[in-house]
C-alpha cells in the first residue's frame, strides 16, 4: 500500500465529510442550504488561512501560483454552495455521491492535461469501479429519500457542478505543494482565497443565520470537523499522493453519507442502491493500493 498514513488521513477526513449531509439535514429547517455552505467553508477557510499565517501569504503572493490559487479559490466558492444545495434537492446520499464521484474525474483530467501525467492502469480500474458505483446508486429509486421530486434534476446538475469545484481546488492545492509550500500553506492559501466571497454570501443570509438558535451547534461542527480538521488531514495527504488518488480514496465520504442517510435520516434504497455502495467500497480499497504517488522528496 502506498503511504498508509496518507491513505488513513484521507479516510478519516472522508468519514467526517460523510456526516455533513445528515447534520445539514437536521439544521436545514432553520438554515438555508446556501447559507450552510457559505458559513462552513467561508468561516473554515478564513480559520485555515489564519492558522497558516505567513505561510499562506507566501503561497498567495507566489507569482508562479497565481493561476492555480485563482482556480482553487473559485473551486472553493462553487463547491459548498453546490454541495449543500445538491443534497437539499437531490437527497442527502445521492447529492453527496454525485459531487464526490465527479471530483476524481476532474482531478485526473487536470493532471493528464496540465502535468502530462496520465493515471496508471490500476487507478483507471479503481475509478471505473467507483464511477460504476456512483452511477448505479444514482439510478436507484429515490422516492423514499429526502430528494425534492420536482427539483431532483436541478439537484443532480448542481451536485455535479460541486464536483467540478472539488476537483479544481484539490488539484490547485496539489500544485501549491509541488511548488515547495507546506500542506498548511496550501490549505490556507486556497481556502483563504475562496473564503471572502463565501463570507459575503453568508452575509446575505444574516437574518436566517441570526435566528439559527440551536442550529449553531451544527454549523460549528461543520466548520471545526469536516472543514478545518478534515482539510488539514487532506492537505497532508496531498504531499505524497496525487489529487486524483486522494479524491478516489475520499469516496469513503459518500459511502459514510449513505449509511448515515439510511440509519439516521431514514432514506431508503433498493437493490441498485446496495450494489452501488458495494462498488464504491471496492473502489476505495483498491485505490488505496494503486494510488499515484507524487514525485517529491517526501514520497521516497
Express each pLDDT in 56-95 by its tens digit.
Answer: 999 999 999 999 999 999 999 999 999 999 999 988 888 8
Between 111 and 181, residue with greater pLDDT: 181
Phi, psi of 119 (to 5 degrees): -65, 155
pLDDT in tens, 248-278: 777 788 778 888 888 898 888 778 877 877 8
228/43 Cα distance (integer angstroms)? 9
139, burial (CB in 10 Å: exposed 0-12, middle 13-18, buried 19+): middle
C-alpha cell at 282: 471496492
Report H helices in 61-182. Answer: 66-90, 92-114, 121-139, 152-178
pLDDT of residue 284: 65
pLDDT score for 289: 60
- For the chain, the 3-state helix, strand and coil shares in percent, each to the nearest 5, are 80, 0, 20
For residues 42-49, average pLDDT: 95
% pLDDT > 70, the chain: 92
Q: Name the average pLDDT for the chain.
A: 84
Q: End-to-end CA distance of the chain, in Å? A: 14
Q: Is 56:189 a contact under the CB 8 Å cutoff?
A: yes
- Per-residue pLDDT at 32 exceeds 70: yes
How confident is the model at residue 288, as a pLDDT? Answer: 56
Between 136 and 19, the higher pLDDT residue: 19
Average pLDDT over every residue of 195-220: 85
Q: What does DSSP assign to residue 241?
A: B
pTM, rounded to two decimals? 0.84
Amino acid at each position: 500500500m502506498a503511504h498508509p498514513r496518507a491513505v488513513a488521513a484521507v479516510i478519516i477526513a472522508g468519514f467526517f465529510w460523510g456526516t455533513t449531509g445528515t447534520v445539514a439535514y437536521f439544521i436545514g429547517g432553520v438554515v438555508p442550504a446556501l447559507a450552510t455552505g457559505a458559513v462552513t467553508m467561508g468561516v473554515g477557510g478564513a480559520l485555515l488561512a489564519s492558522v497558516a499565517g505567513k505561510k499562506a501569504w507566501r503561497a498567495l503572493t507566489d507569482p508562479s501560483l497565481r493561476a492555480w490559487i485563482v482556480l482553487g479559490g473559485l473551486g472553493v466558492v462553487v463547491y459548498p454552495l453546490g454541495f449543500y444545495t445538491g443534497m437539499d434537492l437531490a437527497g442527502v446520499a445521492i447529492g453527496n455521491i454525485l459531487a464526490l464521484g465527479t471530483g476524481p474525474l476532474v482531478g485526473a483530467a487536470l493532471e493528464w492535461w496540465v502535468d502530462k501525467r496520465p493515471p496508471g492502469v490500476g487507478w483507471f480500474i479503481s475509478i471505473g469501479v467507483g464511477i460504476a458505483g456512483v452511477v448505479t446508486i444514482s439510478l436507484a429509486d429515490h422516492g423514499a429519500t429526502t430528494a425534492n421530486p420536482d427539483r431532483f434534476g436541478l439537484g443532480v446538475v448542481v451536485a455535479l457542478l460541486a464536483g467540478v469545484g472539488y476537483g479544481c481546488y484539490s488539484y490547485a492545492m496539489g500544485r501549491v505543494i509541488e511548488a515547495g509550500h507546506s500542506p498548511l500553506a496550501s490549505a490556507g492559501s486556497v481556502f483563504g482565497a475562496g473564503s471572502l466571497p463565501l463570507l459575503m454570501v453568508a452575509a446575505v443570509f444574516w437574518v436566517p443565520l441570526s435566528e439559527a438558535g440551536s442550529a449553531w451547534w451544527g454549523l460549528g461542527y461543520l466548520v471545526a470537523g469536516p472543514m478545518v480538521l478534515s482539510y488539514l488531514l487532506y492537505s497532508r495527504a496531498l504531499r505524497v499522493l496525487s489529487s486524483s488518488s486522494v479524491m478516489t480514496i475520499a469516496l469513503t465520504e459518500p459511502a459514510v453519507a449513505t449509511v448515515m442517510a439510511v440509519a439516521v435520516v431514514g432514506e431508503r434504497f433498493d437493490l441498485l442502491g446496495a450494489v452501488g455502495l458495494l462498488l464504491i467500497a471496492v473502489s476505495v480499497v483498491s485505490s488505496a493500493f494503486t494510488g499515484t504517488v507524487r514525485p517529491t522528496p517526501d514520497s521516497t
